Structure 1
Amino acid sequence: MQKRRGVYNKWAKHVVLYRKASTRSHIPHTLLFSENSLRKMLSLYQMVYVKPNSGSHGVGVMRVEHKNGMYAYQLGAKRYSRLTWKQLIVSLRNKIQGTKYIVQRGIHLARYKQRIYDLRVELQLNEHREWQITGMLARVAQPGMAVTNGAQGAEIYTFNSVIASHGGAELIQSMTAQLNSICIECAHMLKARYPFLNELGFDIALDHQMHPWILEVNTTPESIPFRKLPSKAMYYRIMQLRRLNARR
């Protein structure tokens, strides 16, 4: 199977999806990282995520907070607290070391079994060259972790089991329809800008009101999480379409 082409610039993808009002309401406010942009975002939201612009697997992602005049941040399982602004900036710059980063509004994630989680929604071009959801699952973070990536120890659960815990079959149905609509609209916008795309993995956070937020769109998503589900049907469908799209 030929190597898939991807878009690894998070900021570039954000710019595409933020253009339209209908998708903007599901895209967290994001700026390129600087001392000024971090100060502005923390004053607006009190909690933000500072991410490498081209990173993956949650590596280098930091959760930064401002509370009671002091600052704190978390990288992996390690937490740095009671920092002054100057200490925060020195420490972050030491971690970033000149790499391009972005600052994203922090979404307070819904919880399952007292742990934060997000959703992975897989979209692919099907046999008719139409965008179709071929996989949905939930990634539940390890206790005390600030990210939900599998590489950082997150556990995989079925979409239905996690969503049902908030509102039963009715919520599963309405959430599925909402995610289908949002993700397909975003897929059309990204493909218009990057015509070679044929597969997308959406990382979606749900806040406490169950409002979906697209944290990131992966253009060469991994299928491994779907192999960990009790049923392998989604995994087999994803691989089938991946092979088909590689031949086109």
Structure 2
Amino acid sequence: MSGDQDKTPTLGITVCKTRGTPPFHETAYFKQLTLEGQQVGIRVIVFCPKEVDWERRSVSAWQYSTRRGQWIASSFPLPLLIYDRCYYTNTRHYLDYKPHVNKLVNDPLIRLLGRPLGGKWQTYAFLAEDPDLRPHLPETRRLTTMQDLYTILRRYRSAVIKPNGGSHGRGVAAILPGKDGIRVRGRTRDNRTFDHHLVNRSQMEQWISRFTHGSRYVVQPYLPLYTTDGRPFDIRILMQKSERGEWVQTGMAVRMGKPQTLTSNLHGGGKAVRAEWFFSRQYTPELRIDILEKLQWLSTQVPMRIESRHGRMVEVGLDVGVDPQGRVWLLEVNSKPGRSVFMLTGEKEVRRRSIELPMRYARALLDGQVGGSL
């Protein structure tokens, strides 16, 4: 590469390597980031943390060529600003990447666009320290022994178990009292739905042991988060940093699953609808106002609370549920949120803004216009 190219500010996107060409997911999103990067004078490259040459401080990476309309592999200087988009399929996968990711994180010359969150348990633990947020958090326990599950079942009769890491609804199961036994239903790791009847606790324990094998899990109460026609739903709120370093709400949409299924995730066959349309059909005007006020409060408080305890963030996706009584529950906080929900709702301007903001924030960081410390 020429010396001029080497001086171009670069944002490196880290990914977990997959099969295919290019060997990573989210290619459409990264292409759009590349185009937005051209508008603000930042080159975008995509690489696997395992492929860093630390002696030369270089990396084998992919760059989208707008002239050729394709991804091209080449060698680049190790970027000084990193956007983490690594997704781990299970604990073993995470541990395989962890030392390579940590080396990037701990390098004194490298800054992160935002520090990724830990798992569901870690996030719950420090959010629950806030007495104002605690009433909106489902009780969450690490599933280390069956007693953790039984504690939740004694208090709430039903429970849901989830991988501690991000899952897109995969590997989630509800434990419900059934006719003459126990009912377990949800989605497998490869996203197939299941609904089993187990005759007793011994059979349930064996099933859970097989189901969770190799991954860390949490257990929570099972919440009845369904529409009036029996569809599971949640609300995705995308919060992002502006170029001034301020948190702004980019968009809000509702994801609905198929009737009688457990999760609303789009990966599991769900659909997305606009939030205003959904609320106008599900709630009375008075309840709608109350719910929207609570959603607005959560969307402002949660990112600030996380950042004060965790370090700098660039964006968070808040997944929120509303029970039949109108109580608002913060279900999950995702530091690597997707954006496809806004394409599915037809909100192209929200989608465009969701891509523009991270690049403008990156430019502000590189220019020293916003705080650069973690």
Q: Which residue of 2 aligns with 1:228?
A: 344
The answer to whether residue 138 in structure 2 is matched with residue 28 in structure 1 is yes
Amino acid at match of 2:174: R
> Structure 1, residues 99-140: CA drift from partner, whole Å, max 9, x if none?
211001111113154312111011111233221211100000
**How many angstroms does 1:173 deviate by?**
4.1
Amino acid at match of 2:232: I
For 1:110 and 1:153, the matched residues in 2 are separated by: 16
Q: Which residue of 1 aligns with 2:225?
A: 109
Aligned-residue sequence identity (percent) comes to 24
Q: Report the CA distance shift for 1:246/1:224 in structure 2 as closer, same or farther (over 3 A).
A: farther
For 2:270 and 2:227, the matched residues in 1 are separated by: 13
For 2:119 and 2:216, the matched residues in 1 are separated by: 10
TM-score, length of structure 2 as denominator length: 0.63
For 1:222 and 1:52, the matched residues in 2 are separated by: 18
Compare CA radii of gyration and give the structure with the larger one. 2
> Structure 1, residues 57-99: CA drift from partner, whole Å, max 9, x if none?
1110111113577322112221111430110010010111142
**Residues 49, 105 of structure 1: 8 Å contact kept:** yes
Q: Equivalences for 1:66-105 in 2 at 5 Å?
A: 66-67=177-178, 70-76=181-187, 77-105=193-221
**Residues 180, 199 of structure 2: 8 Å contact kept:** no
**Residues 227, 282 of structure 2: 8 Å contact kept:** no
Amino acid at match of 1:50: I
The answer to whether residue 157 in structure 2 is matched with residue 46 in structure 1 is yes
Q: Which residue of 1 aligns with 2:103?
A: none
Q: Report the CA distance shift for 1:147/1:193 in structure 2 as closer, same or farther (over 3 A).
A: same
For 1:173 and 1:127, the matched residues in 2 are separated by: 30
**How many angstroms does 1:151 deviate by?**
0.7
Q: Report the CA distance shift for 1:28/1:98 in structure 2 as closer, same or farther (over 3 A).
A: same
Q: Report the CA distance shift for 1:126/1:174 in structure 2 as closer, same or farther (over 3 A).
A: farther
The answer to whether residue 150 in structure 2 is matched with residue 61 in structure 1 is no
**How many angstroms does 1:242 deviate by?**
1.8
**How many angstroms does 1:168 deviate by?**
5.2
The answer to whether residue 272 in structure 2 is matched with residue 156 in structure 1 is yes
**Residues 134, 234 of structure 1: 8 Å contact kept:** yes
Match of 1:242 among 343, 358, 369: 358
Number of residues of Structure 1 aligned to a counterpart in Structure 2: 248
Amino acid at match of 1:71: I
Unmatched 5+ stretches in structure 1: none
> Structure 1, residues 179-213: CA drift from partner, whole Å, max 9, x if none?
11112111111111222312000111110012110
**Residues 229, 259 of structure 2: 8 Å contact kept:** no
Between stretches 213-222 and 50-59, larger displacement belongs to 50-59
